[in-house]
C-alpha cells in the first residue's frame, strides 16, 4: 500500500504541473477558450485531490485570464460553470471563492443588478459560516457596487461592515490597501479631499511595498486630490518623492501632471486639449473621469465669469466665440449659472444677449430683526414663568 501511495503522488504532481503548463501555453497564445477548456477538463483530476489543492489550482488557472485581452465574457462563463460544479461537489469554500471572483467581474462590466443579487446570497451563507476573510472581501465589493450605482449611503455602510469584519482577523496588506483605497474614493465623492488623500497615501505606500499594479492608480488619486484642493504646485514635489519617482514618467501620471498645469493656469483650451490627448488615461477610471469633469465645469464657469464681468449686456455668440465653445452649450451653461446664483443676470432669447446685473448686497436687517424677536420672546417667557411662581 505504501509503495502504491508513493508511486501515485508523483503522478498527481505531474498532472497538476501539466495542467498549469497547458494553461500557461493558452495564456501566452491569448487563447481564452482554450484556457477555459483546460479548467473544465481538469475537474476529473481535481475531484481526486484535496480541497485546498483544488482551490489553489483553479485559482492559478483563472489568474491566467488576467493576461488575455478581452477575455472577461469567457472568464465569467467559466466561473458560472465551475460554481455549479463546486456546488454539486459540495465544495462550499471553493464555491464562495469563485462567486466572489464573479462579483468582481460583474462590477467591472457594470452588471450591478446581478452583482448585488449574488452578493446578497453570498453574505447570507458567509455570515452563517462566520468566514471573516471572504466576508471582508464581499462587503468591500458590495461597497464598490453601491458606489457604482450612486448609492453613497449604502456604499459607506458596506465599507464599515467590511472594516468591522477585517478588524476581527489578520488582514493581509493587499486587502487593507484595497479598503484604504475605497475609503479614499468615498471621501473624495463627499468632497473631503484632505481625508481622501491620507487614505490614498496609505494605500499607495502599502501597494508599492508589495509591488502591486494598483499602486499607480492610488498615486493618480493622490495627484487628483492635490488638484481638487487647488494645490497643483504640490504635484511636481509629490512626484519627486522616493516611492513616486519610479512612476513619474508613466503616461497615466503625465496626464495628471498636465491637468494640474492647465488648471493652475486657468487655461480652458489647454484643458480641452489634454482631455483629447490623454482620453484613455482620464476616461477609463470612473473616479478620475467624474472629478476631472467637475474641474472642467468649474474652469468653464471661471472663464465665462471673466468674459462677461466688464459688460452690462453682452451677446451670447460673442461669449461663445471667446471661450471657444458652441453657442448652445454656452447658453445652457449661463442659464445654469444664473439658476445656481453663480451669475446674476437674465438671458434675453429674442436679442441673443445676456443682461448682467450687479451682485446684490446682502441685507442683514431681516436676520437681525428675527434674532431680536427671538430674544424678546425668551424674556417674555422668563417673566411669565416668574409671575406664575410668585402667584
DSSP category for residue 199: H
**361 confidence band (pLDDT: 50, 70, 90):** low
Spatial separation of the C-alpha atoms in residues 65 and 23, rounded to whole Å: 9
Instruction: State the pLDDT at residue 43.
Output: 81
Q: Are 100 and 145 in contact (CB under 8 A)?
A: no
**pLDDT confidence of residue 194:** 96
What is the largest distance, in Å, between two alpha-carbon atoms of the chain?
A: 107
Looking at residues 161-168, what average pLDDT do you find?
A: 94
Q: Which segment of 7-11, 23-27, 146-150, 163-167 scores lowest on mean pLDDT?
A: 7-11
pLDDT digits (tens, 9 = 90+) for 291-303: 999 999 999 998 9
Please list, in sequence order, all residues whose beta carbon lies within 8 angstroms of the beta carbon of residue 186, skipping any fewer than 6 positions away: 143, 147, 152, 155, 156, 159
Residue 98 has pLDDT above 90, yes or no: yes
β-pairing, 345-348 vs 313-315, is: unpaired
pLDDT at 325 over 60: yes
Return the pLDDT at 210.
84
pLDDT given for residue 52 in this prediction: 74
* Whole-angstrom distance, CA of residue 284 vs CA of residue 275: 12
Q: What are phi and psi of 345, to 5 degrees?
A: 175, -170
What is the percentage of the chain residues whose pLDDT exceeds 70? 93
Structure confidence at residue 7 as a pLDDT band (50, 70, 90): very low
Given a contact cutoff of 8 angstroms between Cβ atoms, the answer to whether 224 and 217 are in contact is no
Cell 455668440 locates to 317
Give the per-residue pLDDT at 16: 82
Q: 224 falls in which pLDDT band (50, 70, 90)?
A: very high
72: CB partners within 8 A, 6+ apart: 105, 108, 109
How far CA 247 is from CA of 220, 254, 262, 306, in Å, comes to 10, 9, 21, 37
Render 23-49 in DSSP notation, one character per residue: HHHHHHTT-HHHHHHHHHHTHHHHTTS
Contacts of 131 (CB under 8 A, 6+ apart): 93, 96
- Please report which helix (H) or strand (E) contains residue 291, including its range: helix 286-308
**What does the pLDDT average to over 328-336?**
91
Q: Each residue of 157-177: b (16+ CB within 10 Å) or e?
A: ebbebbbebbeeeebeeebbb
Indicate if the pLDDT at residue 340 is higher than 60: yes
Find the radius of gyration of the CA atoms of the chain: 30
Residue 177: pLDDT band with limits 50, 70, 90: very high
The pLDDT-based confidence of 228 (bands split at 50, 70, 90) is very high
pLDDT digits (tens, 9 = 90+) for 8-60: 455 677 878 888 999 999 999 999 999 999 998 888 777 777 777 788 888 89
Q: What is the mean pLDDT of residues 363-374?
A: 71
- Please determine, for residue 363, whether its predicted confidence score (pLDDT) is greater than 60: no
Residue 313 phi/psi, 5-degree rounding, is -140, 130
What single-letter DSSP state applies at residue 66? Answer: G
The reported pTM is: 0.81
Distances, alpha carbon 181 to alpha carbons 177, 302, 309, in Å: 6, 31, 42
Residue 6 has pLDDT above 50, yes or no: no
Q: According to the model, what pLDDT value does residue 391 have? A: 56
Amino acid at each position: 500500500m505504501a509503495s502504491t501511495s508513493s508511486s501515485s503522488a508523483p503522478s498527481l504532481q505531474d498532472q497538476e504541473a501539466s495542467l498549469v503548463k497547458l494553461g500557461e501555453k493558452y495564456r501566452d497564445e491569448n487563447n481564452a477558450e482554450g484556457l477555459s477548456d483546460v479548467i473544465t477538463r481538469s475537474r476529473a483530476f481535481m475531484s481526486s485531490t484535496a480541497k485546498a489543492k483544488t482551490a489553489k489550482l483553479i485559482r492559478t488557472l483563472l489568474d491566467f485570464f488576467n493576461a488575455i485581452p478581452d477575455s472577461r465574457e469567457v472568464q465569467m462563463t467559466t466561473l458560472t460553470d465551475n460554481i455549479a460544479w463546486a456546488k454539486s461537489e459540495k465544495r462550499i469554500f471553493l464555491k464562495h471563492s469563485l462567486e466572489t471572483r464573479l462579483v468582481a467581474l460583474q462590477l467591472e462590466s457594470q452588471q450591478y443588478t446581478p452583482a448585488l443579487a449574488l452578493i446578497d446570497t453570498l453574505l447570507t451563507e458567509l455570515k452563517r459560516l462566520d468566514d471573516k476573510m471572504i466576508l471582508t472581501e464581499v462587503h468591500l465589493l458590495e461597497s464598490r457596487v453601491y458606489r457604482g450605482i450612486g448609492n453613497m449611503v449604502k456604499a459607506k455602510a458596506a465599507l464599515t461592515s467590511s472594516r468591522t469584519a477585517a478588524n476581527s482577523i489578520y488582514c493581509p496588506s493587499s486587502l487593507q490597501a484595497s479598503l484604504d483605497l475605497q475609503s479614499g474614493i468615498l471621501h473624495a465623492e463627499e468632497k473631503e479631499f484632505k481625508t481622501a488623500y491620507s487614505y490614498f497615501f496609505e494605500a499607495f505606500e502599502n501597494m508599492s511595498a508589495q509591488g502591486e499594479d494598483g499602486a499607480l492608480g492610488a498615486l493618480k488619486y493622490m495627484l487628483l486630490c492635490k488638484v481638487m484642493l487647488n494645490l497643483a504646485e504640490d504635484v511636481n514635489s509629490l512626484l519627486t518623492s522616493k516611492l513616486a519617482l519610479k512612476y513619474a514618467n508613466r503616461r497615466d501620471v503625465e496626464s495628471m501632471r498636465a491637468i494640474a498645469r492647465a488648471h493652475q493656469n486657468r487655461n480652458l483650451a489647454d484643458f480641452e486639449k489634454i482631455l483629447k490627448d490623454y482620453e484613455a488615461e482620464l476616461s477609463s477610471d470612473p473616479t478620475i473621469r467624474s472629478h476631472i469633469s467637475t474641474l472642467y465645469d468649474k474652469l468653464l464657469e471661471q472663464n465665462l465669469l471673466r468674459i462677461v464681468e466688464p459688460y452690462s449686456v453682452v451677446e451670447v455668440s460673442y461669449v461663445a466665440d471667446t471661450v471657444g465653445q458652441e453657442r448652445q452649450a454656452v447658453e445652457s451653461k449661463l442659464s445654469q449659472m444664473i439658476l445656481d446664483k453663480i451669475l446674476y443676470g437674465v438671458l434675453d432669447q429674442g436679442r441673443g444677449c445676456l443682461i448682467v446685473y450687479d451682485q446684490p448686497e446682502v441685507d442683514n436687517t431681516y436676520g437681525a430683526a428675527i434674532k431680536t424677536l427671538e430674544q424678546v420672546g425668551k424674556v417674555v417667557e422668563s417673566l411669565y414663568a416668574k409671575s406664575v411662581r410668585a402667584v
